[in-house]
Amino acid sequence: MPFQRDSYDVIIIGAGPAGATAAALLAQAGKSVVVIERSYFPRFSIGESLLPQCMTYLAEAGLLDDVVAQAEKFGFQYKNGAAFYRNGEHSLFDFQNKSSAGPSTTYQVKREHFDQLLAAGASAYGAEVHHGFTVTAVDFDDPNEVQVAIEKDNQQQSLKGRFLLDASGFGRVLPRLLELEYPSDFPVRQAAFCHVKTTLPGGQFDRNKILITVHPTEPELWFWLIPFADGTASLGVVGGTEYFDDDDTPGQALWRRVHEEPHLLTVLGEYEVTRPEQMITGYSANVSRLHGDRFALLGNAGEFLDPVFSSGVTIALKSSSLAVPLVLQQLNGADVDWEQAYTVPLRKGISTFRSFVKGWYDTRFQDVIFYHQQQNEIKAMICSILAGYAWDSENPYVCETERRLRVLVELCQTES
């Protein structure tokens, strides 16, 4: 399909969850929107276990009904919580027992279908979505329009827009082109993963939850098991690069470690690899700023923490929910303080997730997760964060994350 115009109100780079929800919201507000996506959908992506907070943002964008209606067709698995296992210890967090208001359940999704659904929904609202294009340059010299150079099949052209949103995820288009990349303060970690066909036999695990398993001797190594409703599951191992051999193939990196955890093997039962093993390294990322003259970064294009608490899609959707009203204000001629209205609130939730991720890898938060005398009130607050409600200002573990977590860790360690 050819581009319908030369100039748009908003150009969005990337048709993943952040880009699709932003496009849907802007199109419903009557703005002309074009989404430039490098890949052809459907395409695989990690980040398959959603958090309940996502449902609020999908509903806000008018895309939730399509997801619910197509859940069975695409094997989306109903999800109501998270299960943790460490050396014989089990811990369950039921999202329906969280302290924050909002949805308590969600789905575990195959992203090739989920992302395609969202992009199709944005198109149905009037946004143009074009696949197979690579953004090669951006130009802000014109004070009234941003010029974006794109390429497809060695053919180059340009588009103009009044505002530019980068939702390119790990592609990180604007951070590269505008030299915004900033070193992450997380150690370099590696993830190896695949999809398997398995019935998850023996009643060892509630498939309505994601299973997070700690390696029996290396607590900084952990495994994810994400069931889907079609009898398959996503399986992965994550840890610092020091825990893997330099010459490991993705399969060796994954299965050598999986075979060191007997409980995980029992949960898996007989399995067949249905999507070949893959590996990514050094995925944590940061930027010097999330906005600038007529542009803003959404989701993983701005910052990605770690997959341990499945926060990636939630942060992506939150970023589009925060950014779109500000884009509309700016397009309507208002002065917008992007730092205070976008960066500060978005990074508040990211900071909350960050503290818990760091606590997981230094094992302090693991001690909280597996504490045997959990108080219901405190557990409900922690459960809210695990459910994605990292922006709930009424939750003390959001308002004073570091201090509250430190005190909680000391309590759990003292009484253990």
DSSP string, 101-167: SS---EEE--HHHHHHHHHHHHHHTT-EEEES-EEEEEE--SSS-EEEEEEETTEEEEEEEEEEEE-
Beta strands 134-139 and 146-152, pairing class: antiparallel
The whole-angstrom separation of Cα 101 and Cα 108 is 21
Q: State pLDDT tens for residues 17-26.
A: 999 999 999 9
The whole-angstrom separation of Cα 268 and Cα 195 is 12
The whole-angstrom separation of Cα 194 and Cα 254 is 8
Within 10 A of 155 (CB to CB), how many other CB atoms are there? Answer: 8
pLDDT at 52 > cutoff 90 = yes
pLDDT at 339 > cutoff 90 = yes
Q: State pLDDT tens for residues 289-325.
A: 999 999 999 998 777 778 788 899 999 999 999 999 9
Q: State pLDDT tens for residues 176-209.
A: 999 998 877 778 889 999 999 998 876 778 999 9
The whole-angstrom separation of Cα 58 and Cα 156 is 34
Cβ–Cβ < 8 Å for 331, 26: no
Task: From 327, 337, 342, select the one nearest 30 (Cα to Cα).
Answer: 327
33-37, 174-178, 327-331 — which is least confidently predicted?
174-178
pLDDT at 282: 77
The model's pTM = 0.96
pLDDT at 204: 74
Task: Output the average pLDDT for the chain.
Answer: 94
Q: State pLDDT tens for residues 368-400.
A: 999 988 889 999 999 999 999 999 999 999 999
pLDDT at 202: 64
pLDDT at 278: 96
Report percent pLDDT > 70 for the chain: 99
Kindly report the backbone phi and psi dihedral angles of residue 173, in degrees, each rounded to the nearest multiple of 5, phi listed first. Answer: -65, -60
Q: State pLDDT tens for residues 220-259.
A: 999 999 999 999 999 999 999 999 998 999 999 999 999 9
pLDDT interval class at 416 (50, 70, 90):
low
Beta strands 89-94 and 106-108, pairing class: unpaired
In the three-class reduction of DSSP (H, G, I as helix; E, B as strand; rest coil), residue 78 is classed as strand
pLDDT at 285 > cutoff 80 = no
Mean pLDDT of 143-154: 95
Q: Which domains occur in the chain, in start order?
A: 7-77+106-182+285-347 (3.50.50.60), 189-281 (3.30.9.100), 365-415 (no CATH)
Map tokens 């003292």 to a residue. Answer: 414
Kindly report the backbone phi and psi dihedral angles of residue 124, in degrees, each rounded to the nearest multiple of 5, phi listed first. Answer: -65, -30
For 347-381, give the DSSP string: HHHHHHHHHHHHHHHTSHHHHHHT-TT--HHHHHH
Within 10 A of 230 (CB to CB), how many other CB atoms are there? Answer: 15
207-216 burial, b at 16+ Cβ within 10 Å, e below that, comes to bebbbbbbbb
Report percent pLDDT > 90 for the chain: 85
pLDDT interval class at 415 (50, 70, 90):
low
